[in-house]
Amino acid sequence: MASWLRRASAALAVLLAAGTGYGAWYGSEQAVGVVHYGQHNAMVLASRTGEVTLADTAETREPGVYWLEWSGSSTMLGAVTGRRGGRVTRAVLRGPLPSAGTPGWFGSVPPGDPRVAWGVDFSQVEVATELGPAPAWYVPGRGTTWVVAVHGQNGRRRAELKVLPVVRELGLAFLVISYRNDEGAPRSPDGLIHLGADEWRDLEASVRAALGMGAERFVLYGTSMGGAVIGQFLTHSSLAGTVERVVLDAPMIDAGMTNEQGARKHGMPPFFGGLVSRVVAWRTGVDLERLSLIRHPPAVRPPTLLLHTVGDADHPIGEARGLAAAAARAGWDVRLEEFPDGGHTEAWNTDRFRYERLVRAFLSSPANP
């Protein structure tokens, strides 16, 4: 009997170890694996003049402005006008009306490119990075201050287009960059995301290219992991001194906290976050602790506007609050603005008026001497 119990205990230990190992590897893949997305996550159930009805989900019922992309077209959707029987109806703000039965992609990100999303002309430029050419969108402005926008993990350049209307209103040039492992950009040597530890070099290459095109000063705008890329640029780049302001939307501030949140999101015990961080470090060679902007603020610290939704399930609001508190202790001007509604990087979607008002005021205020 005792022998059977020992064998059973050993087998259980092996199973637990295997399960833990798989969970940690899966978590690391979520953190550093490269993903290219599919085309459909929603179905049009009904449509009539000025309204579209979709299945009622946590995403489709969020207040604010979202987009439905379908069959090469896109529709900007506004307020929820009705919910009943598992269906949600939203107002159509702009774009053609899809017919019932049309599959599409419902999301918070503008469609296409600057011209498709906002009717703004642009040119595509190729930035010479250390790994090869990476595409960027360039919208000209009136002066020599440029906004350089950096998207997040497994994101796309179009994710940065929500801020374009206010940037255009202020007459600033706008450069939306790509970096290693993006579609159309060079692959990194190991094919993995390094959470800003190496991607900042591609941002540096973009800033250098902009200087060659006539830029003199910069505003860096980053969403999600784009915030980590910007943080490492401000820490390591010899060009960091050209940055006069930073705007961060739901940034990754502390990868360890992000991994802990990922464990909670997938119903795993909190210690899985630490295991994931160890596996990420083993796979990439990146010291995640050194990436924490809370414990290691950047060498160059421009005034920073930090925008974050309270319910962000990817980068918890605790990261933003932790950075604001650490910045206050370090004498770094970081202004945190919390939004009560919306998920990850959805502050603009849930309250476009407030978001644009905050960005406009921040970028219009006199620069520090």
DSSP 50-67: TEEEEE--TTTT-SS-EE
CATH architecture group of domain 114-364: 3-Layer(aba) Sandwich (3.40)
Q: What residue ranges do the domains of the chain occupy?
A: 42-107, 114-364
Burial 271-295 (b: 16+ CB within 10 A, else e): ebbebbbebbeebbebebeebbbbe
Most confident residue range from 19-33, 231-245, 265-279:
231-245
| pLDDT band per the 50, 70, 90 thresholds, residue 1 | very low
Q: Is 30 helix (H, G, I), strand (E, B) or coil?
A: helix
How much is the average pLDDT of 233-259? 95
pLDDT tens per residue, range 304-333 = 999 999 999 999 999 999 999 999 999 999
What pLDDT does residue 359 have? 98
Q: Is 305 helix (H, G, I), strand (E, B) or coil?
A: strand
More confident: 119 or 269: 119
pLDDT tens per residue, range 165-223 = 999 999 999 999 999 999 999 999 999 999 999 999 999 999 999 999 999 999 999 99
Measure the CA–CA gap between 230 and 250, rounded to whole angstroms: 13
pLDDT at 62 over 60: yes
Residue % of the chain over a pLDDT of 90? 75
What pLDDT does residue 176 have? 98
pLDDT at 2 over 50: no
In the β-sheet with 173-176, what is the strand arrangement from edge to edge? 123-129, 132-139, 173-176, 145-150, 217-223, 243-249, 304-309, 334-339
**Number of helices (H) and strands (E), helices first, in the chain?**
11, 14
Phi, psi of 92 (to 5 degrees): -95, 120
pLDDT tens per residue, range 339-355 = 999 999 999 999 999 99
pLDDT at 6 over 60: no
pLDDT tens per residue, range 78-134 = 999 999 999 999 999 999 999 999 999 999 999 999 999 999 999 999 999 999 999
